[in-house]
């Protein structure tokens, strides 16, 4: 359902079919720019009794019709293009969609060397929006029969096999292919078709791979994702993953054939679309950013540093279905360090498990809210650690060292995530997007990520990044317009000096010059102290920091720094809580410090 490609797009309806909810948004051209104007949602209808994803899509669009007064549906069809009947309030120019219904895209990846081709394959699958169920490698420590048993028991939607550089040895990648063939892997959905398998390894092994896997899988061969050790080439394999996602996986899910026929652009896996919009925005604005989507079951982290995009998904860090796993991974002490009161361990454990088994409940009391936000901090923190470990430079690559590098023994494969060079953090997901006070989202991200120097923070207002990602493939201008104007709620800027010092000792002197004649403020920030200065959305202030001798704000220890800081619904926060962030170890002292910070930021009601 597309209109004439030569005609400019004026109205766009986009949906994201999630596991539980289908969210629709209407984007319209208003004057010279695109704006998101209406939204609607309805339960996703992939499962019984409906078993047709289009029911939920029609319901969500019908809600937009009701709110906007625009007629979009003609029975069970989307009217395109807009205004064809002569009435400008009838129809839309294009319908586009993303999908993560039915558990999203679940993949298994295999390579030869764990830290090299297997890791590249993992990055490729993650970047394509998949959940990676397991990573197999010749040197992963498992015996052959253990690998085969694992492949057999997994039942992924798709397998990505890589291994070897072009022209290198074929033995090991062929060995992996033999294991896969012996396992006779079967797809997750449906019994009647062969499992899609993408081969993106040594090109010299293609004939052998076809021989071994051609009959047992739906084999697709594409360019090697690691043609030489020094370079990754993830694009072709990623594109193949998207093609196969549509052809095989989506086509098996109920109603998707119809949905695909409606859409004016290929349906993308939801996380792939989110990654795409982040990558587009980062490149367009020339910034480094981290995006996070913390959901009920998983936490996705996206980053773009110096133009390199990475995505990871922490499959079992979430705020409802997998909330117990956050407790298991983070440990009770790490969660409790963020809670400004004491609670019995047994009581807390039971509360967390009850949230897990009744995931739709909401905190009614302040202490319940504080506990959930404490858990969110740990989920965010752990997911970023996971992300940093995978968003790295290529491992196993020889580095040229100069004489000045002799004493700096950095290994190859260093993380690309550099918090000091980070410009923007974008948070998304219920606990961040729907926190009762925006400053709570701000502090959750600051506590979890410990940004260094000057960092801007924002939240996704209604989770429309997936829609904008797929829109960017059709009209980049429309996608970035809406992203900047309607998608993000700018929270403000965190200014965090790097260094340690005695509580109360001088950390840095500051001078903040506000726009439009507002009186400048001067003062001294002490260690262990936070200060918040309101600065409205769209405003910028000049923040001059003169740090103590042992303190760094990005220009070196003791070197003064002056930078523009953008405002937001929270403002500018000066964070003197040391970096790495230090919390008192004694319970009474810690509770007192937390209460002091919360009061300074007006974090919770009295």
- Give the residues lining the site for another protein (CB under 8 A): 19-20, 42-44, 46-47, 59, 62-63, 101-103, 144-145, 148-149, 152, 170-172, 174-175, 178-179, 181-184, 186, 191, 208, 212, 297, 316, 320-322, 324-325, 327-329, 345-346, 349-366, 368-369, 434, 436-437, 605
Please, what is the minimum distance in Å from the beta carbon of residue 288 to another protein?
Answer: 32
3-class state of residue 152 by DSSP: helix
H or E, element range at 182: helix 171-183
Nearer CB in complex with another protein: 50/395: 50
Nearer CB in complex with another protein: 56/264: 56
Nearer CB in complex with another protein: 46/124: 46
Q: How far is CA 536 from CA 514, 545, 565, in A?
A: 10, 21, 11
Nearer CB in complex with another protein: 362/536: 362
- The angle at the Cα of 46, spanning 474 to 257, to the nearest 5 degrees, equals 50
Nearer CB in complex with another protein: 104/264: 104
H or E, element range at 522: strand 521-526
Nearer CB in complex with another protein: 252/524: 252
Nearer CB in complex with another protein: 108/419: 108
Please, what is the minimum distance in Å from the beta carbon of residue 364 to another protein?
Answer: 5
* 328 HSE (CA, 13 A, CB side): 9
* 422 HSE (CA, 13 A, CB side): 26
Nearer CB in complex with another protein: 97/480: 97
Could you identify the residue written with the tokens 């096999």? Answer: 161
| Cα 536 from Cα 389, distance rounded (Å) | 36
Q: Do 212 and 183 form a contact (C-beta atoms < 8 A)?
A: no
Please, what is the minimum distance in Å from the beta carbon of residue 510 to another protein?
Answer: 30
Nearer CB in complex with another protein: 59/122: 59
Could you identify the residue written with the tokens 């360090």? Answer: 337
Residue-wise DSSP of 548-602: -TT-BSSS-BT--EEEEEE--SSEEEEE-STBTT---SSHHHHHHHHHHHHHHHT
Please, what is the minimum distance in Å from the beta carbon of residue 349 to another protein?
Answer: 4
Please, what is the minimum distance in Å from the beta carbon of residue 258 to another protein?
Answer: 20
Please, what is the minimum distance in Å from the beta carbon of residue 231 to another protein?
Answer: 26
Please, what is the minimum distance in Å from the beta carbon of residue 305 to another protein?
Answer: 30
Please, what is the minimum distance in Å from the beta carbon of residue 179 to another protein?
Answer: 8
| Cα 46 from Cα 245, distance rounded (Å) | 16
Nearer CB in complex with another protein: 153/410: 153
Residues 6+ apart with CB under 8 A from 235: none
Orientation of helix 345-357 relative to helix 323-330, angle to 10°: 140
Please, what is the minimum distance in Å from the beta carbon of residue 47 to another protein?
Answer: 6
- Using the 8-state DSSP alphabet, how is residue 101 labeled? G
Please, what is the minimum distance in Å from the beta carbon of residue 502 to another protein?
Answer: 36
| Cα 431 from Cα 319, distance rounded (Å) | 8
Q: Do 542 and 564 form a contact (C-beta atoms < 8 A)?
A: yes
Please, what is the minimum distance in Å from the beta carbon of residue 324 to another protein?
Answer: 5
Residue 143, Cβ density class (10 Å: 0-12 exposed, 13-18 middle, ≥19 buried) = exposed
Nearer CB in complex with another protein: 181/241: 181
3-class state of residue 48 by DSSP: coil
| Cα 400 from Cα 388, distance rounded (Å) | 23
Give the ranges where 391-486 is alpha helix by DSSP (H): 430-433, 438-449, 465-472, 476-482
Q: Do 47 and 56 form a contact (C-beta atoms < 8 A)?
A: no
Residues 6+ apart with CB under 8 A from 314: 298, 299, 300, 301, 379, 382, 383, 386, 387
Nearer CB in complex with another protein: 178/247: 178
Please, what is the minimum distance in Å from the beta carbon of residue 142 to another protein?
Answer: 12
């Amino acid at each position: 359902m597309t209109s004439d490609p030569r005609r400019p797009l004026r109205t766009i309806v986009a949906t994201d079919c999630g596991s539980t909810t289908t969210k629709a948004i209407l984007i319209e051209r208003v004057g010279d720019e695109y704006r998101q104007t209406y939204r609607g949602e309805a339960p996703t209808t992939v499962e019984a009794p409906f078993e047709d994803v289009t029911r939920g899509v029609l319901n969500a669009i019908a809600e937009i019709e009701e709110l906007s007064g625009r007629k979009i549906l003609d029975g069970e069809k989307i009217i395109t293009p807009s205004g064809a009947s002569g009435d400008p309030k009838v129809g839309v120019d294009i319908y586009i969609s993303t999908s993560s219904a039915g558990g999203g895209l679940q993949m298994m990846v295999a390579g030869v060397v764990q830290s090299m081709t297997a890791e590249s394959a993992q990055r490729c699958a993650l970047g394509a929006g998949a959940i990676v169920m397991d990573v197999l490698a010749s040197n992963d420590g498992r015996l052959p029969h253990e690998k085969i048993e694992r492949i057999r028991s997994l039942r992924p939607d798709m397998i990505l096999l890589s291994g070897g550089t072009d022209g290198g040895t074929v033995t090991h990648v062929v060995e992996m292919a033999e294991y896969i063939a012996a396992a006779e892997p079967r797809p997750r959905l449906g019994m009647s078709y062969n499992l899609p398998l993408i081969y993106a390894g040594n090109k010299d092994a293609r004939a052998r791979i076809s021989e071994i896997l051609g009959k047992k899988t739906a084999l697709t061969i594409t360019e090697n994702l690691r043609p030489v050790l020094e370079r990754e080439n993830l694009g072709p394999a990623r594109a193949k993953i998207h093609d196969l996602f549509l052809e095989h996986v989506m086509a098996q899910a109920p109603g998707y054939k119809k949905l695909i026929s409606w859409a004016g652009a290929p349906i993308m896996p939801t996380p792939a679309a989110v990654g795409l919009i982040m990558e587009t925005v980062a490149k367009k604005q020339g910034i480094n950013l981290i995006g996070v989507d913390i959901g009920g079951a998983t936490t996705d982290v996206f980053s773009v540093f110096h133009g390199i995009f990475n995505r990871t998904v922490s499959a079992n860090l979430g705020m409802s279905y997998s909330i117990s796993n956050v407790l298991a991974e983070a440990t009770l002490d790490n969660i409790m360090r963020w809670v400004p009161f004491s609670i019995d361990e047994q009581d807390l454990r039971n509360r967390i498990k009850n949230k897990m088994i009744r995931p739709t409940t909401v905190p009614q009391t302040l202490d319940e809210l504080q506990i959930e936000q404490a858990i969110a901090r740990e989920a965010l923190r752990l997911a970023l650690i996971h992300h940093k470990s995978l968003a790295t430079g290529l491992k196993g690559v020889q580095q040229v060292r100069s004489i000045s590098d002799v004493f700096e023994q950095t290994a190859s494969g260093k993380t690309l995530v550099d918090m000091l060079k980070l410009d923007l953090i974008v948070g998304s997901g219920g606990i961040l997007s729907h926190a009762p006070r925006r400053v709570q989202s701000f502090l959750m991200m600051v506590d979890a990520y410990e940004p260094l120097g000057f960092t801007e923070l924002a939240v996704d207002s209604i989770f429309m990044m997936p829609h904008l990602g797929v829109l960017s493939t059709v009209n980049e201008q429309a996608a970035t317009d809406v992203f900047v104007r309607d998608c993000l709620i700018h929270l403000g800027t965190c200014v965090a000096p790097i260094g340690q010092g005695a509580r109360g000792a001088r950390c840095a002197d500051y001078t903040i010059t506000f726009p439009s004649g507002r009186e400048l403020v001067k003062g001294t920030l002490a260690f262990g102290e936070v200060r918040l200065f309101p600065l409205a959305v769209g405003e910028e202030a000049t923040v001059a920091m003169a740090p103590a001798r042992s303190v760094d704000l990005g220009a070196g220890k003791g070197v003064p720094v002056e930078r523009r800081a953008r405002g937001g619904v929270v403002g500018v926060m000066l964070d003197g809580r040391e970096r790495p962030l230090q919390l008192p170890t004694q319970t009474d002292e810690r509770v007192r410090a937390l209460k002091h910070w919360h009061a300074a930021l007006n974090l919770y009601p009295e």
